[in-house]
Amino acid sequence: MTGILFLEQLLNGLGFGLMLFLLAAGLTLVFGIMDVLNLAHGSLFMSGAYVAAQAHQQSGSFVAAIALAVLVTVVVAALLEVLLMRQLYKRDHLAQVLATFGVILVADDLVKMIWGPSPVMAPTPAALSGPIEIIDGLPYPAYRLVILGAGVLVALALYLLVNHTRVGMRVRAGASDRPMAELMGVHVGRIFNGVFLLGAALAALAGALMGPIVAVQVGMGEQILIPALVVLVIGGIGSVRGAFVAALLVGLVDTIGRAFLPMLLRATLPPATAADLGPLFAEVAMYALMVVVLIFRPSGLFSART
Amino acid sequence: MKKSVVIPTLVLLVALAAFPLVAPLFGMEFYIGFVRRVLIMALAAASLNFILGFGGMVALGHAGFIGVGAYTVVAFADAGVMSAWVLWPMAALVAGLVAALIGTVALRTRGVYFIMTTLAFAQMLYFIAVSLRKYGGDDGYTLPARPELGRGIDLANESTFYWVVLVLVALALGWMHRATRSRFGHALMGIRDNETRMRALGYPVFRIQLVAFAIAGAVAGLAGALLAGGNGFISPGAMHWTQSATLVVMVVIGGLGRSWGGPVGAAVWLLLEEVLKQYSEYWHLPLGLLLIAVALWAPKGLAALSRRKKAVTA
């Protein structure tokens, strides 16, 4: 029984971790290459979730909804890049935090204007609404399995793109030493445009996929942004591999904090104390992980920069 | 303090002190509470400016210390202690100690890693507050009464409480202003400008930064205590990371590393918020655009504008 529960939670943790990876991959490349801290990355996630929810409700096609969500968000990101991000390259992190926090405020109000203040229903695709028995005695929601599969596929594709193609080589070169890469003839600015839009597409995909599981509401971008930043910092800035390892680690630690630590507490402590501490450990686990990692490796696990 | 600053400062103090007497004449009693909140946030923003502007430490978790101060008040009030002489110093002390602990870890990192470490600790404080069911958890905690100062001073009276806040804020701001002009303050600014050089000169960089971080935490804790006392209520919402970001915003808008930066930024931000809220439910949008504009075109903040003008005319 506990074995099955463990497996189920493990899958949940992996799913969450993979979605975090989709967010953190774009974030870490943008940060690694252009040294731009983009707090508005969560807003792109929100855009993906809202557009997908609406398109799915109206068209009934989940795949079309996801495609539209990615397309719309990439267009929005392109606008954002032209209008704002370009002006921020040469600014310090503080100005970037300020401006992109401003974008968050604008984005939240725009979403409120378009879709209203209350959460929007994001339906689970009908064909995937039931559970699938993976092994005997473990029925697992089919939709979550699809998320897992999609996350693995995208992570794999991204890994191949970054580590085994010429374009990826340029991206890595830009992330680890921008001036040197430019000297060697890499158009880092152009590479960045591509990376920024790819990051936006990944964020939108994560938003569209997560929509049916989490509440699609104003402020959802800010909620997911912080765990994504935690992933980026644990993994080491600029490293896609680091983001991947850190995302899975954070996903698992978060799940362990949510599912198993409370169980352990209930078994060992008085019920009232356990009931108080359980939720605390659940929320704090990933931040504690980050602090511990930073104490031993102040620039993350796989920092692309030395 | 330069002479040119003394007179405007005194005029401002007198005007602020007279406000509760004048406001009722114009039917603006409601705004006594608002100005009090501006004063308290000015104190919090100034304490952040102390490490952010003067110390160059981009801390994105300052609201956490406000929360520690406020919840210290809650804990004592819940235990039946209502004397402000205990509550307020304890709030500052506890917040200062927590800041010192956090600083010990966070100050080992630099740049974005420092931003994120301070944020992570603030998130932990936030979730600790959420999990304190004894003190209301998510729903927050309502204080049984205003703190008591004794000696015939009745803090339940809005005007009296306002004046006490004004005196405390003025004293704390003045003290922090002097600290930035002291040898310690100059060493702090030296580290901001060139850490390697200061280390080579033999300054204990880590210790100076840690002391500054703890002081900022303690002052923010005092602000939290005043906030809790003023509203009679505190909830974890006051510690949310967007609150920390808003404090950073206030400091940058007002002017990094300028004595008036924190207060000016807090006043401008809260006033804009208050005015915009009356015109539209979409009041975040213009604020967001303002932020972007400040980041792009006035990175030194509003407090720097007057100086720039002077430089042009000179």
Among A31, A103, A280, whose Cβ lies nearest the Cβ of B131? A280
Distance CA B20, CA B251 (A): 27
Is it the case that residue B310 has pLDDT exceeding 50?
no
Q: What is the ipTM of this complex?
A: 0.84
Residue B254: closest CA among B176, B219, B306: B306
Is it the case that residue B289 has pLDDT exceeding 60?
yes
Q: Which residue has the higher pLDDT, B171 or A135?
A: B171
Contacts of B167 (CB under 8 A, 6+ apart): none
Are the beta carbons of B289 and A113 separated by less than 8 Å? no
Are the beta carbons of A290 and B128 separated by less than 8 Å? no
Q: Is B101 on the interface with A (CB under 8 A)?
A: no
Is it the case that residue B303 has pLDDT exceeding 80?
no
Is it the case that residue B313 has pLDDT exceeding 60?
no
Cβ within 8 Å of A, B 168-187:
none
Q: How confident is the model at residue B304 (pLDDT cuts 50, 70, 90)?
A: low
Displacement of CA A212 from its chain's centroid (Å): 16
pLDDT at A126: 76
Is it the case that residue B2 has pLDDT exceeding 70?
no
Question: Which residue is closest to B119 within chain A, CA to CA?
Answer: A226
Pairing of strands B141-142, B233-234: antiparallel
pLDDT at A215: 85
Q: Which residue has the higher pLDDT, B62 or B134?
A: B62
- pTM for this structure? 0.87
Strand partners for A286: none
pLDDT at A113: 93
pLDDT at A261: 78
Residue A27: closest CA among A241, A223, A190, A228: A228
Packing angle of the helix pair A220-235, B241-254 (nearest 10 deg)? 90
Alpha helices of B53-151 — where are they, by DSSP H? Answer: 62-78, 84-106, 111-131
Are the beta carbons of B299 and A88 separated by less than 8 Å? no
Q: How confident is the model at residue B309 (pLDDT cuts 50, 70, 90)?
A: very low
pLDDT at A260: 78
Contact B155, B148 (CB under 8 A): yes
Is it the case that residue B28 has pLDDT exceeding 50?
yes
For residue B175, the distance in angstroms to the closest alpha carbon of chain A comes to 26
Contact A229, B118 (CB under 8 A): no
pLDDT tens per residue, range B232-278 = 889 898 898 889 999 999 998 888 888 888 899 999 999 999 899 88
| Type of residue numbered B8 | P
Collect all residues of chain A within an 8 Å Cβ-Cβ radius of residue B112: 31, 37, 93, 233, 237
Percent of chain B with pLDDT over 90: 42
Distance CA A94, CA B32 (A): 33
pLDDT tens for each residue of chain A, 306 residues long: 577 778 888 888 898 999 999 999 888 888 877 778 888 999 999 999 999 999 998 988 889 999 999 999 999 999 999 999 888 887 888 888 889 999 999 999 999 999 988 888 888 887 777 787 777 777 888 888 888 898 899 888 988 888 888 888 888 887 777 788 888 887 777 888 888 999 999 999 999 999 888 889 998 998 888 899 899 989 988 888 899 999 999 999 988 888 777 777 778 877 777 777 777 777 888 888 988 898 888 888 887 654
Residue A204: closest CA among A76, A105, A89, A79: A76
Q: Which residue has the higher pLDDT, A283 or B195?
A: B195
Q: Which residue has the higher pLDDT, A137 or B216?
A: B216
Are the beta carbons of A279 and B252 separated by less than 8 Å? no
Q: What is the DSSP string of chain A?
A: -HHHHHHHHHHHHHHHHHHHHHHHHHHHHHHHHH----TTHHHHHHHHHHHHHHHHHHH--HHHHHHHHHHHHHHHHHHHIIIIIHHHTTS-HHHHHHHHHHHHHHHHHHHHHHH-SSPBP-PPPGGGSSEEEEETTEEEEHHHHHHHHHHHHHHHHHHHHHHHSHHHHHHHHHHH-HHHHHHTT--HHHHHHHHHHHHHHHHHHHHHHHTTTS-B-TTHHHHHHHHHHHHHHHH-TT-HHHHHHHHHHHHHHHHIIIIIHHHHHHHHS-HHHHHHHHHHHHHHHHHHHHHHHHHH-TT-TT-S--
Question: Which residue is closest to A39 within chain B, CA to CA?
Answer: B245
Collect all residues of chain A within an 8 Å Cβ-Cβ radius of residue B288: 101-107, 109
Q: How confident is the model at residue B223 (pLDDT cuts 50, 70, 90)?
A: very high
Collect all residues of chain A within an 8 Å Cβ-Cβ radius of residue B131: 276-277, 279-280, 283
Contacts of A170 (CB under 8 A, 6+ apart): A181, A186, A191
pLDDT at B209: 94
C-alpha separations of B10 from A286, B47, B170 in Å: 49, 21, 11
CB count within 10 Å of CB A59 equals 12
